[in-house]
Amino acid sequence: MENVNEREIDFKLLSELFFTFFKLSPISFGGGFAMIPVLEAEIVYKKKWIEGKQIVDTFVLAQSAPGAIATNSAIFVGYQVAGIPGAIAAMLGMVIPTFIIVIILASLFVFFQTNHYVLAALNGIRPVIVALIASAAYKMSKTSLIDKTCWIICLICVAVLLLCPNINIIVVILSGAFIGITIMKVKKMFSNSVKTE
């Protein structure tokens, strides 16, 4: 994958990237993780754009970089296939279909939001949204809260946010990075084995 940026811009390849993700995007219900097997089948086995080993790296990066896993995967696949123009083509292919669908749904909502039945339906739907958020936390905790220290950091974080409603949430999130580094250093002082995964 050397010199990807020095290749001449191949518009045929770019449009293929765009339309591949354009086609995959509307079926990406349920978020990033549901997307992974579909992406792998299309990109690795059908298009043979990148190898199995690279797709693993792609998904690791997609989960670690900020933003949606599906979009991040598309961007990095596009980059590996056709450099920066490829990244942009893949990103647009991924974003445009869902953008249009969301706009249509939002317009319908604006039109019907004062309807008696819609209001009642929303009363039923709001608890599901709370459950969706809570279940996201639960599912992430299974893989990410790997020891007691993690649980303590997480609980302190919840307590701080509840007790200080005006605290800047970005500062709270980023403090996790500093806590992680500090804990690693402290653990290093007491033992040679550092377990962070």
Interacting positions 116-145 with another protein (CB under 8 A): 117, 120-141, 144-145
What's the rounded Cα separation, in Å, for the pair 17 and 78?
7
Does 194 interact with another protein (rule: CB under 8 A)? yes
Identify the sign of the CA torsion 137, 138, 142, 147. Answer: positive
Measured from the CB atom, the residue of 9 and 102 that comes closer to another protein is 102
Q: Quick one: CA dihedral 167, 140, 197, 159, positive or negative?
A: positive
Residue of the chain from 18, 49, 59, 79 that contacts another protein (CB under 8 A): 79
Interface residue with another protein among 71, 82, 89, 93 (CB under 8 A) is 71
Interface positions, 92-121, toward another protein (CB under 8 A): 94-95, 97-99, 101-103, 105-107, 109-110, 113, 117, 120-121
Q: Please, what is the end-to-end C-alpha distance for the chain in angstroms?
A: 30
For residue 189, state whether it binds another protein (rule: CB under 8 A): no
Tell me which stretch binds another protein (CB under 8 A): 12-20, 36-44, 72-80: 72-80
Write down the least CB distance from residue 96 to another protein, Å: 9
Helices (H), ranges, the chain: 11-24, 32-40, 52-64, 69-112, 116-144, 148-163, 169-190
Measure the CA–CA gap between 78 and 74, rounded to whole angstroms.
6
9 vs 122, beta carbon nearer another protein: 122
Measure the CA–CA gap between 64 and 74, rounded to whole angstroms: 14
Interaction mask 1-40, another protein, x per CB under 8 A: ------------------------xxxxxxxx--------
Nearest approach, Cβ of residue 165 and another protein (Å): 9
Residue 197 binds to another protein (criterion: CB under 8 A): yes
Residue-level length of the chain: 197
User: Residue 93 and residue 73: Cα distance in Å, rounded?
Assistant: 12
